A and B are shown apart, each in its own frame.
Chain A
Amino acid sequence: MKTSLLTIAIVTLTLWGCGGASQRAEKPETSDSVLQQQEEVHGTEVKEIALTNPLSQPMVDEGQKIYDMKCSSCHRLTDERLVGPGWLGVTKRRKPTWIINMITNVDMMLEKDTEAQKLLEQCLVRMPNQNITEKDARSILELMRKNDGEK
């Protein structure tokens, strides 16, 4: 049995050598000036959100701007479902962290969160990644709170 194992080892080596373990060409050197940084927003899970009252009007205004550009195509501020659910009452139904993660971290939510998965079954369109930062998502949340009547 020892002999057989040795044979396998040798043959494997032969195959390796013969197959030419694919070596990548020399790694090129590049200067930083060439490689312009590309911003890309990928959510990391948000576990805590501190809410304060009264609401921050600047955040509500900012949230409204983002809503008009990136959200309103699919979400109404009423309870009417368009592509996605209407936002009325969302802050009563969902925890703040759930809302923020759904905005910034859709892939994780659709993979792990059963409530998010249920919504996908209803709507059949994946909530898109709209390239929104955590800070911007917080402003959207403030708009939602205002929409739900918080002061």
Chain B
Amino acid sequence: MNLKSIIGGVAVGIIAVAQISCKPNNKGGASGSSELAGDAAQKVYVAPGTHDEFYNIVSGGFNGQISIIGLPSGRTLRIIPVFAQSPENGYGFSEETKPMLNTSHGFVPWDDSHHIALSTTNSIHDGRWAFINGNNTPRIARISLKTFRTEEIIELPNSGGNHSSPFITANTEYAVAGTRFSVPPDDKADVPISSFKKNFKGYISFVSIDKNTGRMGIKFQLKTPGVSFDLARAGKGKSADWFFFSTYNTEQANSLLEVNASQKDKDFILAVNWKKAEQYLAQGKGKKEAAKYAHNVYSDKVHSATSTIMTEVMTLDPKECPDMLYFIPCPKSPHGCDVDPTGQYIVGSGKLAAVIPVFSFDKMQKAIAAKTFDGNFDGIPVLKYDAVLHGEVQKPGLGPLHTEFDGKGNAITSFFVSSELVRWNIEKLEVIDRVPTYYSVGHLSIPGGPTAKPWGKYVVAYNKITKDRYLPTGPELAQSAQLYDISGDKMKLLLDFPTTGEPHYAESIPASLIEKNSTKIFKIEENAHPYAAKGEKEAKVVRKGNEVHVYMTAIRSHFTPDNIEGIKMGDVVYFHVTNLEQDWDVPHGFAIRGALNAELLIMPGETQTLKWIPTKVGVTPMYCTDFCSALHQEMQGYVRVSPAGSNVPLTWGTGKNPVAEAEQKVAKK
């Protein structure tokens, strides 16, 4: 065979491959449609040792955590505990992190968290923080995108469920929290349920965010009429002073809402002029009311959290603040309420509606100026539907839920009932493209999709039903997410990837905005933990009554001290473990047999504390749980527990025999 024919043969082979890879196949799903991109494998392949293009920051739903996923690979990179305890690293179990989960109800180590909001400057991602809501026990958490840890959690009083949250304003001035359940005020809450219309209020909290530190505080609460707030978005550009909230149950039903809250032809989108609210506040229209809520803050300097119980909150009554709130009628139980990148259009998605109404901010301003009202609802003007409507997308699909934007003048809306994504042109209100999802999509996410500057390229569908998409794992299944390429005329399915918990909403942000800021170590010199042992010289064991404090160090591959005697039954032992390493990715673990709480995972330069109440007399082993070096298996030690009242002296050490030394000391005396 000569060279020419070999090359010819290769050419034929390549042509064959090219044809196969370009041919759309029918593996998209059960329906046998052709939505799968022919080059899907190539587009989601992230070669070994290379990085994903986007961080996908995904709410964990009923697991109360956040998943960090790489796109386009769909690889899970990390799970961040937020409202839930994590025995994996001790979050919510260690003495330092327990205060993070404190609330006015006490210690609540779980939640149902739905929505992610990434911080923005001028409505563009700035890569500083992620916010997430606790839906059940109303809370908002702030997560640092440097440490990928929960730094702050604030509870919300006068709220029955924090669903309409934590959407943020253009420059991250505020995160909002609209209550899903209207409730009577916390301090006057013992009222008949049937007095709903009289006593219940729909509170909306405006949580201020310090622009340098991110520190949160409830600036004010609006006491709006008793309806259910569902979702929300801030305006952008010309509408940046406004916030838009979708509502349901404007029937004000308090029982069998499935029927009773679906009576009206239209519910409302509430438009809030939050700048005006600030003005009223400055004029002294606010009223402080008694309320009880927890504010929890974690510090990377003392490596500990504090929890403060607050006792009052500022409220604004719309009745005393005219021109601040307006209702926009929106067909049939609106769910999503999304503002396009220009800030001009507000898209409502009526769960039970056959159209998608799109409202115009300019028209809304005109209607307000001309007082084109259709009566009022509990004193708040209702704008005329036709006067504020840009237009309706006709027959887009069944069960519209959420809308995001591709930055090219188009919107993509998710449809739960007809299980599809539909792309449509915002100006022309025309459907351009549709693609099925498997199965029954809830939220969708385009990188930068809710911002003034969508990064585009992909959309992820977070499906509510998984069924047969993966190998079966019994009755309980992972959740199904699907990645689509939206760079061309047709949306094309690229990848199925399972997620944990139940992702509701997620955002994606270019890796380049975050990766270079990622914290690698905590500097041991800056460790201000009161129980830190900064060097083995500071390792010691101190008894205070029945409390025993072990100032312990960990470095590859030993603990100091690793032999402790003189602990007695009835003692409460605190292991304060400082990791002396100063290199990236060298955490140490700490575990002790029979611990009733958890283990610890301690990052380089950090101090964390495990509380241990011995349950048995005897010698108890302890060891490092994170494979740290070739001699990791040797990183172990013993604690001797003696009966209450015994006279075994308190001794400790590493690399020596503590008892022998103690006996010498006794002998010298």
Which residue numbers of A lie inside 8 Å of B, CB to CB? 1, 4-5, 7-8, 11-12, 14-15, 18-20, 22, 24-28, 30-31, 34-36, 38, 40, 68-70, 72-74, 82-83, 124-126, 128-132
Contact = CB atoms under 8 A, between A and B. Distances in A.
Contacts of A74: 555-556
* From A8, A28, A36, A73, residue with most partner B Cβ within 10 Å: A73
Interface stretch (B17-25, B476-484, B594-602): B17-25
Given A31-B126, A38-B519, 20 more contacts: A7-B11, A11-B18, A15-B14, A18-B21, A18-B39, A19-B39, A19-B42, A20-B485, A20-B487, A34-B127, A38-B516, A38-B520, A68-B537, A70-B580, A72-B537, A73-B558, A124-B629, A126-B629, A131-B523, A131-B582
* From B42, B523, B535, residue with most partner A Cβ within 10 Å: B535
B420 interface: no
Interface string B647-669: 00000000100000000000000
Interface residues of B, number: 63
A8 to B, nearest CB: 5
Interface in B435-457: 447, 453, 455-457
A91 B184 CA distance: 76
A38 B553 CA distance: 26
11 contacts: A14-B18, A20-B487, A28-B124, A28-B125, A30-B127, A35-B516, A36-B517, A40-B520, A73-B536, A128-B583, A128-B586
B343 to A, nearest CB: 19
Nearest first, the 6 A-B pairs at minimum CB distance are A131-B582, A69-B535, A4-B7, A73-B555, A7-B11, A129-B583
Contacts of B457: 25
B555 A30 contact: no
B564 interface: no
A1 to B, nearest CB: 5
Contacts of A70: 524, 535, 580, 582
Given A4-B4, A34-B127, A68-B535, A15 B121 contact: no
A83 B7 contact: no
B524 A8 contact: no
Contacts of B15: 7, 11
Q: Is the interface of B mostly helix, strand, loop or mixed?
A: mixed
A8 B9 CA distance: 10
A82 B655 contact: yes
Contacts of B39: 18-20
Nearest to B655: A82
A21 to B, nearest CB: 10
Nearest to A128: B583
B583 to A, nearest CB: 4
Contact of B3 (A1, A8, A40): A1
B629 A125 contact: yes
Q: Is the interface of A mostly helix, strand, loop or mixed?
A: loop
A128 B556 contact: yes
A8 B14 contact: yes
A25 B655 contact: no
Nearest to A69: B535
A25 B456 contact: yes
Nearest to A8: B11
A35 B456 CA distance: 23
A106 to B, nearest CB: 9
A34 B11 contact: no
B630 interface: yes
B6 to A, nearest CB: 9
Given A18-B21, A131-B582, A34 B555 contact: no
Given A1-B3, A18-B22, A73 B560 contact: yes
Nearest to B557: A125
Contact of A129 (B487, B560, B582): B582
Contact of B53 (A24, A31, A82): A24
A130 to B, nearest CB: 4
Contacts of B586: 128
A15 B556 contact: no
Interface in B577-615: 580-583, 586
Contacts of A68: 534-538
Interface string B238-274: 0000000000000000000000000000000000000
Contacts of B14: 8, 11-12, 15
Contacts of B524: 69-70
Nearest to B534: A69
Interface in B1-48: 3-4, 7-8, 10-11, 14-15, 17-18, 21-22, 38-39, 42-43
